[in-house]
């Protein structure tokens, strides 16, 4: 029953009660003393009913406003989904497509209406399907987003290399119910990288090169982004106790600057002799090519920072140390006959700061690794990670 119907029925009841009162007042067998009391109770009951109806009306109006707001929000987010520049798919846990946006349909070269109900497996080449099945099964046990780089088969058998980022959505019982897929075409990525490398020299062409010696702190300006032409710098901050916190490295070809951080205290120190080139905001805004090049380099820093952040959450110090050494090996490792040599020297204090532990603990663990033959040191105390 809606509010309008209830109102009409209440008004009709109120009229019937008034008529009943008029009839009762003329009946000789009803005591005259009872009529005023009965009338008062009827009027009171009618007012309470009227107030209840008014409250229901207000609640109903609020519900309508909320519904309209939610519908508008739903349309807004549906538009964001539909018109996103990257391809998005929603599938069930088995990979059957339930929703797809315009970019995904365009990427797969098939109409949206024909995508719904199809399995992702239909767009995987035959030779890759077993591997894809295995990855899909692993996703049901994963709690983090996973990235896959695999070929996708478009309509008419055309192939493209795609990066798929998959997130698992679970019900309250922990069972996987949906998979959210982000699709990107990376077929031309290699070509873009090669063009960027060819134009690398253009970044520093005709620009002043600033030189800093090992151990020097580098002055920062919020309007400037620094590009490392040669060498390695250490990025750090300080906690409330005054202890240094290692937050990253910027090697040759990477960028840094105070405008790229939200930290109040941000220190950059040369770990060896370095050469830097500066770009101010106006120069970056005026050059699309420079914008694109710096964006790729900022992405390198972001990936490194996320790896360091994840490493800090490891339970055991030994695991944090191992992971840090592997990251340093990847970032600044140089192949030598004995293994991989880190191109700059790190003190035990530096490593302890990066591993969120004490220098004494790192000294003990590094000694164990050296005894086990997993690491050694060269004449300049650079760490060498054995093969």
Highest mean pLDDT among 80-89, 97-106, 171-180, 301-310: 97-106
* Residue ending a domain, choose from 187, 222, 255: 187
Q: Quick check: 167 and 147 in contact, CB under 8 A?
A: no
Range of the domain at 238: 193-312
Distance (Å, whole) CA 279 – CA 283? 6
How high does pLDDT run on average in the chain? 79
Q: pLDDT, tens digit, for every residue of 114-140?
A: 888 988 888 888 877 887 887 778 777
Q: What is the CA radius of gyration of the chain?
A: 35
User: How many structural domains is the chain composed of?
Assistant: 4
Which structure tokens are listed for 331?
Answer: 């970032």
Q: Are residues 13 and 97 in the same domain?
A: no
Of the three residues 80, 114, 131, the one that is the final residue of a domain is 80
pLDDT for residue 191: 41
| pLDDT at residue number 68 | 75
Shared domain for 255 and 325, answered yes or no, is no
243-299 per-position pLDDT tens digit? 888 888 999 888 898 888 888 888 999 999 999 988 888 777 777 777 777 777 888
* Residues 228 and 274 both lie in one domain: yes
In 26-118, alpha helices (H):
34-83, 102-108, 112-115
- Residue 62, sorted as left (phi over 0), alpha (psi -120 to 50) or beta, turns out to be alpha
Confidence category of residue 206, pLDDT binned at 50, 70, 90: low
Predicted confidence (pLDDT) per residue in 317-346, tens digit: 899 899 899 889 888 888 888 889 998 898
Looking at the structure, tell me whether residues 10 and 121 fall in a common domain.
Answer: no
CATH number at residue 210: 2.60.120.10
């Amino acid at each position: 029953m809606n509010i309008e119907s209830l109102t009409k029925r209440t008004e009709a009841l109120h009229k019937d009660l008034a008529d009943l009162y008029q009839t009762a007042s003329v009946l000789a067998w009803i005591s005259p003393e009872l009529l005023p009391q009965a009338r008062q109770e009827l009027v009171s009951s009618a007012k309470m009913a009227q107030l209840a109806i008014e409250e229901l009306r207000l609640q109903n109006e609020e519900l309508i406003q909320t519904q309209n707001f939610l519908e508008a929000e739903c349309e807004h987010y549906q538009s964001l989904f539909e018109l996103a520049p990257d391809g998005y798919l929603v599938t069930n846990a088995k990979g059957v497509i339930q929703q797809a946006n315009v970019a995904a349909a365009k990427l797969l070269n098939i109409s949206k209406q024909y995508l719904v109900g199809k399995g992702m497996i239909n767009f995987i080449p035959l030779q890759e399907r077993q591997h894809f099945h295995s990855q899909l099964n692993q996703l049901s046990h994963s709690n983090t987003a996973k990235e896959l780089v695999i070929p996708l088969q478009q309509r008419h058998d055309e192939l493209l290399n795609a990066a798929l980022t998959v997130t698992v959505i679970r019900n309250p019982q922990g069972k996987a119910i949906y998979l959210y897929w982000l699709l990107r075409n990376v077929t031309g990525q290699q070509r873009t990288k090669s063009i960027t490398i060819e134009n690398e020299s253009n970044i520093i062409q005709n620009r002043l090169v600033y030189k800093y010696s090992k151990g020097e702190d580098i002055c920062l300006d919020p309007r400037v982004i620094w590009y490392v032409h040669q060498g390695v710098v250490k990025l750090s901050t300080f906690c409330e106790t005054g202890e240094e916190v290692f937050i990253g490295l910027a090697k040759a070809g990477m960028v840094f600057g105070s405008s790229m951080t939200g930290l109040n205290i941000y220190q950059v120190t040369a770990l060896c002799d370095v050469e830097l080139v500066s770009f101010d905001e106006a120069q970056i805004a005026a050059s699309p090519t420079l914008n694109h090049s710096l964006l790729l380099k900022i992405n390198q820093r972001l990936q490194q920072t996320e790896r360091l952040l994840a490493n800090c959450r490891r339970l055991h110090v030994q695991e944090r140390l191992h992971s840090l050494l592997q990251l340093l090996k990847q970032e600044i490792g140089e192949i030598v006959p004995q293994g991989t040599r880190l191109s700059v020297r790190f003190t035990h204090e530096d490593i302890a700061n990066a591993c969120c532990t004490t220098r004494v603990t790192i000294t003990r663990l590094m000694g164990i690794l050296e005894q086990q033959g997993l690491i050694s040191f060269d004449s300049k105390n650079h760490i060498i990670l054995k093969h």
